């Protein structure tokens, strides 16, 4: 079942001689539950692509469908609600709220949506992420790897259809990087999450189901890493 459909997306910044074509007619689809790695050099357009998929920026041309919904056809208020409920974001810099505990950071998106957290699912996530003993810790009391696990929990708590991870291991050492990638793969398999992950690390990219490369705004699909 197709979860993501990117149709002929282009993005140009500026105009005339100063115009920069960040994305050039990019098209691809991703089925539900697939773990996709996007690789490319700095400035290649991969972060721009992630922003288009996550509806954080608008394309110059093209469409993005998530679970059959045309995101850029939505009114801003509806898009904000759709994004909050259907897309989870994981950033390289963690972006945790320093005054909130581990548990409070994880459930924050649910509270933002004026919903009540699913206590059973929260306990399951804390166990899977090995954060149960640190649920009342502040981010400053955690290691980098633990902070990224909190960020993963925050992305998973709303049970989004799609998770977008922008260099999720960029600030981590080798051991913590391996643990974070294992957690993302487990989320993809256990919770049927569709994951799009940007990474500079080719060995990490090889752990995904499929690799896409963006170079000078052009996307190349290298297909599945394994059958």
> Distance between CA atoms of 44 and 30, rounded to whole angstroms?
21
Confidence of residue 67 (pLDDT cuts 50, 70, 90): very high
Higher pLDDT, 101 or 192: 101
Give the DSSP letter of residue 66: E
| pLDDT of 10 above 70 | yes
pLDDT at 147 over 80: yes
Cβ neighbours for 179, distance < 8 A, ≥ 6 positions apart: 145, 149
171 φ, ψ to 5°? -105, 15
Burial of 9 (0-12, 13-18, 19+ CB in 10 A): buried
Q: At 179, is the pLDDT very low, low, confident or very high (cuts 50, 70, 90)?
A: confident
Model confidence band, residue 177 (pLDDT cutoffs 50, 70, 90): confident
Tell me the average pLDDT across 125-140: 94
d(CA 194, CA 189): 9
With a cut of 70, say whether residue 143 has pLDDT above it.
Answer: yes
Residue 154 pLDDT > 80: yes
Phi-psi region of 193 (alpha: psi -120 to 50; beta: other; left: phi over 0): beta
* All domains of the chain in start order, with CATH: 31-60+70-224 (3.40.50.300)
Q: How far apart are CA 187 and CA 53, in angstroms?
A: 19
Dihedral angle, C-alpha 175, 130, 81, 67, nearest 10 °: 70
| Share above pLDDT 70 across residues of the chain, in percent, rounded to a whole number | 99
Q: Which of 17-26, 72-81, 109-118, 182-191 has the least mean pLDDT? A: 182-191
Band of pLDDT at residue 226, cut at 50, 70 and 90: low
CB 13 within 8 A of CB 68: no
Q: How confident is the model at residue 225 (pLDDT cuts 50, 70, 90)?
A: low
Round the average pLDDT of the chain to a whole number and report it: 91
| Alpha-carbon distance values, 184 to 11, 25, 156, 205, 222 (Å) | 29, 29, 10, 12, 21
**Which residues are within 8 A (CB) of 53 and not within 5 positions of it... i.e. 6 or more apart?**
4, 6, 64, 66, 162, 164, 196
Global pTM value: 0.89
Helix (H/G/I), strand (E/B), else coil: 221:
strand
Strand ranges (E), 78-217: 87-91, 162-166, 194-198, 210-215
Task: Round to whole Å and give the CA distance between 147 and 150.
Answer: 5
pLDDT tens figures, 86-126: 999 998 888 999 999 999 999 999 999 889 999 999 999 99
* Beta strands at 2-13 and 20-31: parallel, antiparallel or unpaired: antiparallel
Q: How far apart are CA 92 and CA 90, in angstroms?
A: 7
């Amino acid at each position: 079942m197709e979860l993501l459909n990117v149709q002929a997306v282009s993005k140009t910044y500026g105009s005339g001689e100063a115009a920069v074509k960040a994305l050039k007619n990019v098209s691809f689809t991703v089925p539900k539950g697939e773990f996709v790695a996007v690789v490319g050099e700095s400035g290649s357009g991969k972060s721009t692509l992630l922003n288009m998929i996550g509806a954080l920026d608008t394309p110059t041309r093209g469409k993005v469908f998530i679970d059959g919904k045309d995101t850029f056809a939505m009114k801003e208020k509806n898009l904000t609600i759709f994004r909050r409920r259907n897309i989870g974001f994981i950033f390289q810099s963690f972006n945790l709220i320093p005054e909130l505990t581990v548990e409070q950071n994880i459930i924050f998106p649910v509270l933002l949506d004026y919903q009540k957290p699913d206590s059973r699912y929260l306990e399951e996530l804390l166990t899977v992420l090995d954060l149960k003993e640190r649920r009342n810790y502040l981010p400053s009391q955690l290691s980098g790897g633990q902070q990224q696990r909190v960020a993963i929990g925050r992305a998973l708590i709303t049970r989004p259809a799609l998770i977008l991870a922008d260099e999720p291991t960029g600030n981590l050492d080798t051991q913590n990087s391996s643990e974070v990638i294992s957690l993302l793969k487990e989320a993809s398999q256990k919770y049927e999450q569709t994951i799009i992950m940007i990474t500079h690390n080719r060995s990490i990219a090889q752990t995904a189901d499929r690799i896409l490369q963006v170079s000078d705004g052009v996307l190349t699909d290298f297909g599945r890493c394994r059958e």
